[in-house]
Structures are given as C-alpha cells and as structure tokens.
Amino acid sequence: MINLELPKRLQVGANQARQVATQIFRPVSRKYDLAEHEYPVELDTLKAMIEAMEDAGQAASGATTGRGTESKYQGIQNGGNMKSLLNIIETCWGDVGLTLSIPRQGLGNSAIAAVASDEQMERFGRVWASMAITEPDFGSDSAAVSTTARLDGDEYVLNGTKIFVTSGERADHIVVWATLDKSQGRAAIKSFVVPRDHPGVSVDRLEHKLGIRASDTAQISFTDCRIPKENLLGDPEIRVDKGFAGAMQTFDNTRPLVAGMAVGVARAALEELRTLLEEAGLEINYDQPATSQPAAVAKYLELEADWESAYLLTLRAAWMADNKMPNTKEASMCKAKAGRAGSAITLGAVELAGTLGYSERSFLEKWSRDSKILDIFEGTQQIQQLVIARRILDLSSSELR
C-alpha cells in the first residue's frame, strides 16, 4: 500500500526544487514567456547547481537515472521516478516551460532510464536528451513511425523528420524513434540515442507556441545520419510476439512526469485563486457543504478536489514504477486525469478571477496557456483513454482501436 508521507530524503529534494521555482523561475517567468526562443541564461546557474549536487551524491540518491534505489523495507522503494516527480511538481509551480528546459532533465533522459543497459547508462546517464517521436504525418499514433534506421555494418543509418521536439535545439542528445523494417509493423520500432551536433542532424526550425514559450520546440531532420549500433536502446531484435512493448515502456516513466507538470501548474493556479478569493472576503469552509457556500467558493472546492485526485493518481503511478510494478494503465490514468484537471483548474481560475485572470497582471492567463500542452503531448486525452480501456478489457491494439 502506498504511504503518502514523504520520506525525509525526498522532502529535502522537493524543498530544493521549490527554492529553484521561487528564486529562479518565478521572477523570470513572464520575461521568457514574452521573449520566446531567447535562451534563459538562468539555466546556466541551475546547470552548475545540478552538477554540484550530482557530484556530491549521485551514487547514493539515484537521482539522475530514474531507477529505484534499495530500501531497508523489503518491497517498498521510493527511487528516481518519485524523486523526479516531486521535483517536477515544485518546479512547474514556478514555470512549466523553464522546467522543460532544465539541463539533463529532458523527457529523453527518462526514456534512456527506462530501457538502457548498464553500459548505456554509463555513457548516456549524464547527457541532456530530448525525445523525438512525432512526425509530420502522425501525432499520437506512435506505431506510425516512418523514420527509418538501416543497419550498415556496425552503424545504423537514420533518415526522417521529427516535429515538436521539446528542447530539440538546446539538448545535447536526442532519443529518436525509428523503424528497422516498416513491413514488420510496431515490433520494428526502436529508440536510438543521437548526439544533436552529429553529422546528418539538422534543426530546421523552432515553433511559435500557445504556451511553454520558455521552452524551445523544434523540427529536426535526419539525413543519412550514421550512429554506432550500440546507441540502440533495448533489444535490437525484432520480436513480433512482443510488439513494441520495449519502446512503449518509455511512456510508463514519462507520463507520470508530465502528469506531475500539470499537477504543479494547477497547484500554482489554485493557490493564487485562493488568495484572490480571501482578499475579496470569501471564506473557504471545509466544514460546510459546498452547496451552502458562495458559488465562487463552491467552484474552488470542486477544482481543489479535482487536483487532489490527479495528485494521488500521479503519486501512485510513479511509486509503482519505482517498485518494478507494471504501471502502463496507471501511467495513462494519471496522465489523462492530470492533463484534463490541469486545463480545467487553470481555466477555472481565470474565470473566477475575472478581468485580473485574463490580463497579464497575474500569471493565471499564462498558466492556462501552459497547461494545455500537458493534456496533449506524451499522448492525448483520447489516447490515454484508449490505453486504459485496452488494459481493463484485456484487449490488444488490433482488437480495440
């Protein structure tokens, strides 16, 4: 059973992340929202801090690997996934776009941690990796990957185009999804670690976006890009009987983290909204039914309950990942719930705050824009519901589309 009392070692990390959010992210949040594609120089300070902490305690904490660490309580672990989740909740309370730009904390790093061998972790454990899945011809259907990887001697040759690559220009490595043989379907889809400055890799453009403007989002092309065959993550064999479960295992780690982003920004909106309601003379009373309180308070209580359920589902999915439990269903459940709740809560806060919520005098309008992407990337709301239904009904992707 999950214990909701955070261990002290995790609380220390979360407190440090809150300090980053309060002292570094919040003060420059509006600046980089208005100056899209400008590099946040504050990230250099953060990078130095991360390197210092890693050098001081990486082996003991398991912080950068995303893998669980041993606990003195047999069968109960709280490792890298839970640590990363709690930190992300705090930093996204500060700014989602800046969180997505933290060096060596990219979604590709979680992908590496999910399926990399020990030897690969030695090589790639401290890189900054973005993740390249989506292509011009598909969005949420990851099985439709058309970027190819052809084995030529001791190297794979990659060809294709990826779009909406978060931190695609700033990260120093890219985890690229490509197919070894299109005729073999899903089973032939593998992920590869590619240095961004490698020959054959080009950043074609940066996207202008609704939200998370502090983060760069790129289109990247791979043209006869040759990488060592050892850069393939996981099993190099095409195993039709297993589909592309190895590649999809990545999402079991990353979806709870994206859910945590939504939880963090939604909490920021709730805290701001509560302050505004109290300044307006409205008391939030937990001892009375919501229906007997002012309409604005009743709505706040509804949004707060929505947040609580998203938070608990997200904790559960990360905890299961650290304890080596199959969590595909739970990862999709928390992503679906938190993604939807994040948008509902931030937009609800904008509505209740009136003109202040719609203006740039507060962060509420920004948080509502930032939260929308969290219900889209790493699998849309509809895709999550499809994954959950397949798991509950025990149906394959071909049986339930």
Instruction: Write down the catalytic residue from 90, 330, 365, 378.
Output: 378
Provide the residue ranges of all domains of the chain, joining segments of one domain with +: 8-124, 129-242, 245-393
Could you tell me which residues come within 8 angstroms of residue 233 by beta carbon, excluding any fewer than 6 positions away?
111, 112, 115, 116, 120, 175, 190, 191, 192, 193
8 Å CB contact between 160 and 138: no
8 Å CB contact between 321 and 327: yes
Assess whether pLDDT exceeds 80 at residue 248: no
Assess whether pLDDT exceeds 90 at residue 54: no
Known catalytic residue at 378 = yes
Residues 219, 72: Cα–Cα separation, whole Å = 46
Residues 206, 165: Cα–Cα separation, whole Å = 9
8 Å CB contact between 321 and 81: yes
Of 284, 289, 287, 286, which Cα lies nearest the Cα of 271? 284
pLDDT digits 0-9 by tens, 304-339? 999 999 999 999 999 999 998 999 999 999 999 999
The pTM of the full predicted model, rounded to 2 decimals, is 0.91
CB atoms under 10 Å from CB of 308, counted, come to 12
**pLDDT in the model for residue 127:** 94
With DSSP H G I counted as helix, E B as strand and the rest as coil, what are the percentages for the chain, rounded to 5? 55, 15, 30
pLDDT digits 0-9 by tens, 219-238? 999 999 999 999 999 888 88
Maximum distance among all alpha carbons in the chain?
A: 73
CB contact burial 32-64 (16+ within 10 A = b; e otherwise): bbeebeeebebbeebeeebeeebeeeeeebbbb
The residue-averaged pLDDT of 361-374 equals 98
- Which CATH code for domain 8-124? 1.10.540.10
The residue-averaged pLDDT of 136-155 equals 90
Specify the CATH architecture of the domain 245-393: Up-down Bundle (1.20)
3-state secondary structure of 134: coil
Q: Which two tokens stand for residue 264?
A: 């963090």
- Which CATH code for domain 129-242? 2.40.110.10
Backbone angles phi, psi at 232, to 5 degrees: -75, 130
CB atoms under 10 Å from CB of 30, counted, come to 14
Local confidence band at 354 (pLDDT 50, 70, 90 cut-offs): very high
Assess whether pLDDT exceeds 60 at residue 62: no
Local confidence band at 250 (pLDDT 50, 70, 90 cut-offs): confident
What's the burial of 115, exposed, middle or buried (CB within 10 Å: 0-12/13-18/19+)?
Answer: buried
Mean pLDDT of the chain: 90
Q: Look at strands 217-228 and 201-206 and give their pairing.
A: antiparallel
Assess whether pLDDT exceeds 70 at residue 63: no
Question: What is the amino acid identity at position 74?
Answer: Q
**pLDDT in the model for residue 242:** 59
Could you tell me which residues come within 8 angstroms of residue 173 by beta carbon, excluding any fewer than 6 positions away?
108, 124, 127, 128, 129, 130, 193, 194, 195, 196
Q: Between 71 and 115, whose confidence is greater?
A: 115
CA 109 to mean position of chain CA atoms? 10
H helices of 133-244, in order, are none
User: H or E segment at 151?
Assistant: strand 148-152
The residue-averaged pLDDT of 131-153 equals 90
pLDDT digits 0-9 by tens, 161-185? 999 999 999 999 999 999 999 898 8
pLDDT digits 0-9 by tens, 371-392? 999 999 999 999 999 999 999 9
DSSP track, 292-353: GS-HHHHHHHHHHHHHHHHHHHHHHHHHHHHTT---HHHHHHHHHHHHHHHHHHHHHHHHHH
Q: Which of 12-16, 143-147, 212-216, 236-240 has the lowest mean pLDDT?
A: 236-240
Residues 315, 105: Cα–Cα separation, whole Å = 19
8 Å CB contact between 175 and 197: no
8 Å CB contact between 80 and 67: yes
Local confidence band at 160 (pLDDT 50, 70, 90 cut-offs): very high
Assess whether pLDDT exceeds 50 at residue 66: no
Local confidence band at 114 (pLDDT 50, 70, 90 cut-offs): confident
Residues 110, 116: Cα–Cα separation, whole Å = 10
H helices of 164-244, in order, are none
8 Å CB contact between 112 and 233: yes
8 Å CB contact between 245 and 326: no
Local confidence band at 138 (pLDDT 50, 70, 90 cut-offs): confident
